[in-house]
């Protein structure tokens, strides 16, 4: 540890991590949406291999935080839910990556 009483900078950085992003399932969802312009529910389901209920639950939380935009519509007669990362969501993912990289570098010494 650095200093006589100071918290290790790497550990302190980890405390600042966005916990909404940090949850593994939500992190996967955000990363999938980060790599595309938009995707529908089925596509994200297939890439993340989450269950329907699990994915819906996490999407609700991300939508409430303003990270994901959910657009419900139809493709012909079939309902289709389109998902898109908002600018805030994209920023949150980039901040998370920066925080984790900094934390891991500090932890490595």
What does the binding site for another protein look like in residue numbers (CB under 8 A)?
A: 24-25, 27-28, 31-32, 34-50, 52, 54, 56, 72, 78-81, 97
Which of residues 32 and 68 has its CB atom nearest to another protein in the complex? 32
- Nearest approach in angstroms of CB 59 to another protein is 9
The residue among 29, 24, 12, 23 whose CA lies nearest residue 99 is 12
CA pseudo-torsion sign 26, 27, 28, 30: positive
Alpha carbon distance, N-terminus to C-terminus of the chain: 10
- Nearest approach in angstroms of CB 8 to another protein is 23
- Nearest approach in angstroms of CB 81 to another protein is 6
């Amino acid at each position: 540890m650095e200093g006589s009483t100071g918290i290790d900078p790497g550990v302190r950085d980890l405390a600042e991590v966005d916990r909404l992003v940090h949850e593994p399932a939500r992190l996967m969802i955000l990363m999938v949406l980060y790599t595309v312009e938009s995707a529908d529910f089925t596509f994200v389901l297939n890439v993340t291999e989450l269950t329907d209920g699990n994915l819906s639950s996490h999407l609700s939380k991300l939508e409430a935080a303003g990270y994901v935009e959910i657009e419900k519509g139809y493709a012909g007669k079939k309902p289709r839910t389109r998902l898109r990362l908002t600018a805030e969501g994209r920023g949150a993912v980039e901040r998370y990556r920066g925080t984790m990289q900094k934390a891991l570098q500090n932890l490595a010494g």
